Protein backbone atom coordinates (compact mmCIF):
# COMPACT_ATOMS: atom_id res chain seq x y z
CA UNK A 1 0.00 0.00 0.00
CA UNK A 2 2.73 2.40 0.96
CA UNK A 3 4.59 1.67 -2.25
CA UNK A 4 1.47 2.43 -4.28
CA UNK A 5 1.06 5.71 -2.38
CA UNK A 6 4.56 6.86 -3.25
CA UNK A 7 4.05 5.87 -6.87
CA UNK A 8 0.88 7.94 -7.07
CA UNK A 9 2.62 10.89 -5.46
CA UNK A 10 5.45 10.64 -7.98
CA UNK A 11 2.96 10.67 -10.85
CA UNK A 12 1.29 13.73 -9.34
CA UNK A 13 4.60 15.52 -8.93
CA UNK A 14 5.64 14.74 -12.51
CA UNK A 15 2.27 15.88 -13.84
CA UNK A 16 2.35 19.19 -11.98
CA UNK A 17 5.96 19.77 -13.02
CA UNK A 18 4.95 19.20 -16.66
CA UNK A 19 2.07 21.63 -16.22
CA UNK A 20 4.27 24.35 -14.81
CA UNK A 21 6.72 23.89 -17.69
CA UNK A 22 3.97 24.30 -20.25
CA UNK A 23 2.71 27.37 -18.36
CA UNK A 24 6.14 28.97 -18.77
CA UNK A 25 6.25 28.09 -22.45
CA UNK A 26 2.75 29.25 -23.45
CA UNK A 27 0.49 31.06 -21.03
CA UNK A 28 1.24 34.63 -19.96
CA UNK A 29 3.05 34.34 -16.66
CA UNK A 30 2.30 37.84 -15.37
CA UNK A 31 -0.70 40.09 -15.31
CA UNK A 32 -0.82 43.85 -15.89
CA UNK A 33 -2.09 44.18 -12.29
CA UNK A 34 1.22 42.83 -10.95
CA UNK A 35 3.08 46.16 -11.17
CA UNK A 36 4.67 45.70 -14.59
CA UNK A 37 5.96 49.26 -15.20
CA UNK A 38 7.71 51.88 -13.07
CA UNK A 39 6.25 55.21 -11.97
CA UNK A 40 9.17 56.94 -13.74
CA UNK A 41 8.31 55.23 -17.00
CA UNK A 42 4.68 56.36 -16.71
CA UNK A 43 5.74 59.95 -15.94
CA UNK A 44 7.96 60.00 -19.02
CA UNK A 45 5.13 58.43 -20.96
CA UNK A 46 2.76 61.21 -19.93
CA UNK A 47 5.08 63.81 -21.46
CA UNK A 48 5.32 61.80 -24.69
CA UNK A 49 1.55 61.21 -24.72
CA UNK A 50 0.79 64.91 -24.24
CA UNK A 51 3.16 65.67 -27.08
CA UNK A 52 2.09 62.99 -29.60
CA UNK A 53 -1.30 61.53 -28.72
CA UNK A 54 -3.45 63.97 -26.79
CA UNK A 55 -4.26 66.08 -29.86
CA UNK A 56 -6.47 63.21 -31.08
CA UNK A 57 -7.17 61.06 -27.99
CA UNK A 58 -7.58 63.97 -25.57
CA UNK A 59 -5.67 65.04 -22.47
CA UNK A 60 -7.93 62.84 -20.33
CA UNK A 61 -7.67 59.85 -22.72
CA UNK A 62 -11.38 60.11 -23.43
CA UNK A 63 -11.06 60.18 -27.22
CA UNK A 64 -12.68 62.63 -29.57
CA UNK A 65 -14.11 62.60 -33.07
CA UNK A 66 -12.60 59.55 -34.84
CA UNK A 67 -10.08 58.71 -32.11
CA UNK A 68 -11.39 56.18 -29.56
CA UNK A 69 -10.91 56.54 -25.79
CA UNK A 70 -7.71 55.09 -24.28
CA UNK A 71 -9.26 54.83 -20.82
CA UNK A 72 -12.33 53.35 -19.23
CA UNK A 73 -14.51 50.32 -19.80
CA UNK A 74 -14.75 50.53 -23.57
CA UNK A 75 -10.97 50.69 -24.01
CA UNK A 76 -10.23 48.00 -21.42
CA UNK A 77 -12.94 45.79 -22.90
CA UNK A 78 -11.22 45.98 -26.29
CA UNK A 79 -7.91 44.77 -24.88
CA UNK A 80 -8.93 42.54 -21.98
CA UNK A 81 -7.72 38.98 -22.49
CA UNK A 82 -4.92 39.99 -24.85
CA UNK A 83 -1.24 40.32 -24.02
CA UNK A 84 0.44 43.66 -23.49
CA UNK A 85 2.38 42.95 -26.65
CA UNK A 86 -0.87 43.21 -28.63
CA UNK A 87 -1.54 46.72 -27.30
CA UNK A 88 2.13 47.71 -27.62
CA UNK A 89 2.34 46.49 -31.23
CA UNK A 90 -0.92 48.25 -32.13
CA UNK A 91 0.50 51.53 -30.82
CA UNK A 92 3.97 51.08 -32.26
CA UNK A 93 2.89 50.12 -35.78
CA UNK A 94 -0.23 52.29 -36.25
CA UNK A 95 0.18 55.34 -33.94
CA UNK A 96 0.41 58.28 -33.94
CA UNK A 97 -2.09 57.99 -36.81
CA UNK A 98 -0.47 61.07 -38.35
CA UNK A 99 3.01 59.43 -38.38
CA UNK A 100 2.77 55.65 -37.77
CA UNK A 101 5.95 53.70 -37.04
CA UNK A 102 7.85 56.81 -35.97
CA UNK A 103 8.27 55.86 -32.30
CA UNK A 104 11.05 53.77 -30.77
CA UNK A 105 10.24 50.72 -28.66
CA UNK A 106 11.37 52.57 -25.54
CA UNK A 107 9.05 55.49 -26.23
CA UNK A 108 6.16 53.15 -27.05
CA UNK A 109 6.76 51.33 -23.75
CA UNK A 110 6.68 54.61 -21.79
CA UNK A 111 3.40 55.61 -23.39
CA UNK A 112 1.94 52.15 -22.81
CA UNK A 113 3.00 52.46 -19.16
CA UNK A 114 1.27 55.84 -18.91
CA UNK A 115 -1.95 54.47 -20.44
CA UNK A 116 -1.87 51.58 -17.93
CA UNK A 117 -1.21 53.97 -15.07
CA UNK A 118 -4.04 56.26 -16.15
CA UNK A 119 -6.33 53.22 -16.14
CA UNK A 120 -5.41 52.55 -12.47
CA UNK A 121 -2.97 49.69 -13.01
CA UNK A 122 -0.32 49.86 -10.27
CA UNK A 123 3.32 50.79 -10.84
CA UNK A 124 6.02 48.35 -9.71
CA UNK A 125 9.78 48.13 -9.45
CA UNK A 126 10.69 46.78 -12.91
CA UNK A 127 10.13 48.74 -16.13
CA UNK A 128 7.76 47.53 -18.78
CA UNK A 129 9.75 45.44 -21.29
CA UNK A 130 10.32 46.91 -24.74
CA UNK A 131 10.49 43.61 -26.64
CA UNK A 132 7.88 41.15 -27.84
CA UNK A 133 9.32 38.26 -25.81
CA UNK A 134 8.87 40.18 -22.56
CA UNK A 135 5.60 41.91 -23.38
CA UNK A 136 3.84 38.81 -24.67
CA UNK A 137 4.18 37.12 -21.26
CA UNK A 138 2.07 39.86 -19.59
CA UNK A 139 -1.66 39.36 -19.76
CA UNK A 140 -4.01 42.34 -19.73
CA UNK A 141 -7.32 41.88 -17.96
CA UNK A 142 -9.88 44.61 -17.35
CA UNK A 143 -10.71 43.25 -13.90
CA UNK A 144 -8.12 42.73 -11.24
CA UNK A 145 -7.79 38.94 -10.85
CA UNK A 146 -8.81 37.57 -7.45
CA UNK A 147 -5.95 37.60 -4.96
CA UNK A 148 -3.91 40.34 -6.65
Query: Does 82 engage in binding with ligand HEC (CB under 6 A)?
Result: no
Per CB under 6 A, does 90 bind ligand HEC?
yes
Q: How far is CA 33 from CA 2, 12, 48, 64, in A?
A: 44, 31, 23, 27
Could you say which of 32, 42, 84, 95 contacts ligand HEC (CB under 6 A)?
95
- How far, in Å, CA of 6 to CA of 11, rounded? 9
Residues 6+ apart with CB under 8 A from 86: 79, 140
CB of 36 to ligand HEC, least distance (A): 17
Q: Nearer Cβ to ligand HEC, position 28 or 96?
A: 96
Sole binder of ligand HEC in the list 53, 84, 123, 138 (CB under 6 A): 53
Amino acid sequence: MQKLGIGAMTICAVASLAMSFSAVAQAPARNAWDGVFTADQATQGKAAYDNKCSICHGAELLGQEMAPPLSGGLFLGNWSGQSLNDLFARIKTTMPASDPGSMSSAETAMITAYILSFNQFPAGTTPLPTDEAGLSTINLTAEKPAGK
